[in-house]
A and B are shown apart, each in its own frame.
Chain A
Amino acid sequence: MSAVPVAPPRRLLDAEVDGVVVRVPEGATILDACRDQGIDTPTMCYADNLTPINACRVCVVEVEGARTLVPACSRTVEAGMKIRTDTDRVRHSRRLVMELLGSSVDTSLASSDWHRWQDEYAAAPDRFGAPTDPMEAGERDRRWAGHHHGSPDPSRAETVSQPVKVDNELYVRDYGRCVLCYKCVEACGTDAQHTFAIAVAGRGFDARISTEYAVPLDVSACVYCGNCIGVCPTGALMFSSEHDMRAAGTWDEDRQTVTNTICPYCGVGCELELHVQDNAIVKVTSPTDNDVTSGHLCIKGRFGFQYVQRRKKDRT
């Protein structure tokens, strides 16, 4: 009788990347092919544990015969496809994406790769001028369709800068750092959690991540699994512990260890990565390639660790 079913064999396709013939299984993306070839491809909205959403366009490549540049993260390789990753057009487009994001959003907490790509593509977000002043709390949330920008000063760069939203004790939302990559929406929605507490509201430059009617989290559908934090690439969504330590100047990743263990609550067996500084857990993540979690946790696994360290607090 049936043993473990083997997936139907996948056809191998030949294509060309930067003049080199590559052979990939049917269904592989251009990004997969590039990574196979060791071609460093910038990404922002892509994550291994989410469905590609094509929001940021920083991974675009040129495909011979295609009118537009195509996103490498989601476009699948076709037989005979000729792909170019290093043309002027590709470099120019990627640089512009980096500059537009960098000029309007605080990307200082993005990955070290992101900062390296800025340098490699000579991105100059400053060229649009000094950033405009931060908005008042809630100002962006109040903008509705039909809103027109005031009279923007053409010598200054429009930004999404705004105060941090702190409405619960578990995590903060710092939307001045939000590049609208949609990862949090995907993780809260059909890619993992199916809670649908957040979505993109507004259009154009007014687009922002929002709960329904921009209500505070505690009256939204949020169940505090923190899976949005787990996928956020820019630190817009952050553990309160990390946010508070950064504010106090005590956050120091060089002094942190990361230890993998298993969540002590129910019997599902989720693997946790405990980020520990000075013998205290400061953040909890899960490996995206873990078979049990795919990087996702529930409220207890992500935030329920305090009882362990509270013993220390009570003592002192």
Chain B
Amino acid sequence: MTNAVLHVADVHKSFGGLHALSDIDLQVMEGTTHAIIGPNGAGKSTLLNVCIGRIPPDSGAVVFDGKVITGKRPHEINQMGIVRVFQTPEIFPDLTLLQNVMVPAFAKRDGAFTLNAFRGADRETEIRDEAEHWLADVGLAGYKDTLAASLSRGDKRRLELAMGLIQHPRLLLLDEPTAGMSRHDTNSTIDLLKKIKERGMTKVIIEHDMHVVFSLADRVTVLAQGRIIADGTPEEVRGSAVVQEAYLGGTHR
């Protein structure tokens, strides 16, 4: 087995009296696609927020690539190579699609701050070409000069995916990447994610849609009430009695 890119080590988090996460110990292996599933309120989003430094854990630590990332600021975590794609699309509505994708490319190339005020952005042909390439990959090539605000919700999610992918992250965290998409769009997103998998990017996906999970995941972790109740290959998890009970007898809709 290859080495772990992300290690969530013994993390606890409670809000008031509510244990949102307890005893979470999780390893995400290099090059794999790791799905985290579970009923509503199981703590999936909290876990993701802990991973990107939005919420500090009460105890335990998140180790990425051998370095502790708990307590680091969001931009530092991004610069280390972790990119998150949000559940509700977070884009730059007042910029064009092309600019939306160029901005993260600059972050990747120039770091958290550079005063590059005297070189025309037009001359950055390398970055522009790459941005156009990723826009084409998510199927938005024809709209590169339109403002992002005018996109439909589904298109915004695809744009955000391109914004994440252009940074070639070591670890891509996807929060329900296909929520609210049509079946057709879901399938094209799955195809796109499979394509990146071939390039060896590690991904963590939080997802409700079992079709997506079982099409993509190499490994599945099941959360319920803030605890890990199962962890294994998709086949193992599918057959697990505990998981079936959590889903059928538990709080799931």
- Asked if A and B bind, the verdict is no
Which A residues lie at the B interface, using CB under 8 A? none
